[in-house]
Amino acid sequence: MTYVPFARKYRPRFFSEVIGQEVPVRILKNAVRSGKVAHAYIFAGPRGVGKTTVARILAKALNCINPKDGEPCGKCENCLEIDRGNFPDLIEMDAASNRGIDDIRAIKEAVSYTPIKGNFKVYIIDEAHMLTKEAFNALLKTLEEPPPRTVFILCTTEYDKIIPTILSRCQRIIFGRVREENIKAYLKKICDQEKLECEEEALSAIARASEGCMRDAASLLDQASVFGEGKVNREVVESFLGILSVDKVSGFMKLLLESKVDEAIQELRDLYNKGYNLSKFWDMLEEEVRNALLFKSLKDPTGVLENTESYEEFRDYPLEALLYLENIVNRGRLEARTRPALDAYELAVIKTLIVKEILPVSKALTKVPQELSGEPKREESLEEKIRSGLSPLAYKAIERAGRREEDGKVIFEIEEKDYETFKEEFEKLKRQVPQIVFEPRKKKDQRKDTTSLF
């Protein structure tokens, strides 16, 4: 028997088998059930998420002899022929390879014939955005006066490239990327049916690497099972994909957050020497940092992030440290474009030396006066105290005064006259701020080594 790749073997044959496209499936099933099928649909969405698959199921549901509740029966002659790919009223066309007007003419001609066998003639035009302008125009004429019992399904990964006049004549159905957990469940099902031994983590790695694309997920699993001779375990998958598990990436991220630069650089070199694709690793790191940031900043991250539990470990790092890290990692990626990747990433790692010192703003502020602030800041806060503790006139006297520091005290040498005038105020202030001393000073014997305060 010839080998059928998983992606084909496990292509859904019923709406109910389609994974993760609840909205498109519901709309189409309802349309079939209620007999309100549009003349033309646009199936838009990323590659490998089920557009062609669903288009075929729709064709089946429309032509099935015994449809049930919007689903095809899967057993009648029409269903079987569609599954086998030899049903005369289902015409599939790949616009990427048949781009010309002649192909569209062929469609237009075919359209004038009524369905041969089924209820509907269904045209599936894959990669519809690749049609030439002329082809689009020819198609447009057909869509303007749609022949009865004909359904066009234009599938595209690039919705923006389809001209508005076509768009306005089609019902748009949006297909989304499939969520990681759904991909994982799909892979698990394949493993069960194929009796493949698989590790949970291996499936997670594949699901993640396929980035929402079911076709990629299926074929990665296919390759991994061949590579691992029937066993799909994490190590096999990782080395096979040339990627690293998320655990490794988040472990590395932790090293950076804790400024363990030696270890991080060692790790980076290890990966490099083992032949891993560092840029891919860095991309994963960037994503991990971004996710940790989302986790920390959103009130309810569960709607946005998958596996929120795995980000718990970053909860205690200050947001500021994560933001700073994000910046460094991002810069590292940009720099890797203009110099050897390892150099760029090592430099980025070195820049994380101070990440550990970063405090949340709230904490940093309370620490400023004693520990962190330099001279200028202390003066500032002292100035505030003085300014608020004195009347404007007395304050002016301070401005005129000299100033020196001794044993941690700040001594103001006030002109004698000022001193006498504002004595009471000064004394009151001194009780509040014991660090300050006021002394009278004779105008003539101004000290050389004093400076004005402000």
Ligand X SMILES: Nc1ncnc2c1ncn2[C@@H]1O[C@H](COP(=O)(O)OP(=O)(O)OP(=O)(O)O)[C@@H](O)[C@H]1O
- The residues binding Zn ion (CB under 5 A) are 64, 72-73, 76, 79
Residue with tokens 């991990």, as numbered in its chain: 288
Q: Of 104, 81, 13, 6, whose CA–CA distance to 52 is shortest?
A: 13
Q: How many CA atoms does the CB half-sphere of 133 hold within 13 Å?
A: 0
- Sign for the pseudo-dihedral over CA of 227, 230, 236, 237: positive
Query: How far apart, in whole angstroms, are the C-alpha atoms of residue 257 and residue 358?
Result: 10
Q: Which does 70 bind (CB under 5 to 8 A by kind): Zn ion, ligand X, Mg ion, none?
A: none
Q: Which does 73 bind (CB under 5 to 8 A by kind): Mg ion, Zn ion, ligand X, none?
A: Zn ion
Q: How far is the CB of 215 from Mg ion (least distance, A)?
A: 9
**212 lies in the site for ligand X, by CB under 6 A:** no
List the structure tokens of 446.
Answer: 């101004």
Q: How far is the CB of 58 from Zn ion (least distance, A)?
A: 13
Q: Which does 332 bind (CB under 5 to 8 A by kind): ligand X, Zn ion, Mg ion, none?
A: none
Q: How far is the CB of 120 from Zn ion (least distance, A)?
A: 13
Q: Which does 318 bind (CB under 5 to 8 A by kind): ligand X, Zn ion, Mg ion, none?
A: none
SS3 228: coil
List the structure tokens of 225.
Answer: 């099972």
Q: How far is the CB of 201 from Zn ion (least distance, A)?
A: 40
Q: Which of 126, 180, 222, 238 binds ligand X (CB under 6 A)?
A: 126
Q: Which does 285 bind (CB under 5 to 8 A by kind): ligand X, Mg ion, Zn ion, none?
A: none
Range 162-201, binding ligand X (CB under 6 A): 178, 186
List the structure tokens of 11.
Answer: 């292509």
Q: Of 86, 128, 93, whose CA–CA distance to 110 is shortest?
A: 93
Q: Of 139, 134, 186, 138, whose CA–CA distance to 19 is shortest?
A: 186
Pairing between strand 451-452 and 436-441?
A: unpaired
* 421 residue type, one letter: T
Of the pair 4, 372, the CB lying nearest ligand X is at: 4
SS (H, E, C) 113-127: CCCCCCCCEEEEEEC
Task: Give the count of residues interacting with ligand X (CB under 6 A).
Answer: 24
Whether residue 16 contacts residue 230, with contact meaning beta carbons closer than 8 Å, is answered with no
**47 lies in the site for ligand X, by CB under 6 A:** yes
Range 123-142, binding Mg ion (CB under 5 A): 126
Q: Which does 447 bind (CB under 5 to 8 A by kind): Mg ion, ligand X, Zn ion, none?
A: none
* 341 residue type, one letter: A
Q: Which of 15, 37, 41, 52 binds Mg ion (CB under 5 A)?
A: 52
Query: How far apart, in whole angstroms, are the C-alpha atoms of residue 9 and residue 386?
Result: 82
Q: How far is the CB of 363 from ligand X (least distance, A)?
A: 48
Of the pair 142, 157, the CB lying nearest ligand X is at: 157
**214 lies in the site for ligand X, by CB under 6 A:** yes
Query: How far apart, in whole angstroms, are the C-alpha atoms of residue 241 and residue 340?
Result: 22
Q: Which does 105 bind (CB under 5 to 8 A by kind): ligand X, Zn ion, Mg ion, none?
A: none
* Interface residue list for ligand X (CB under 6 A): 7-8, 10-12, 18-21, 47-53, 126, 155, 157, 178, 186, 214-215, 218
* Interface residue list for Mg ion (CB under 5 A): 51-52, 126
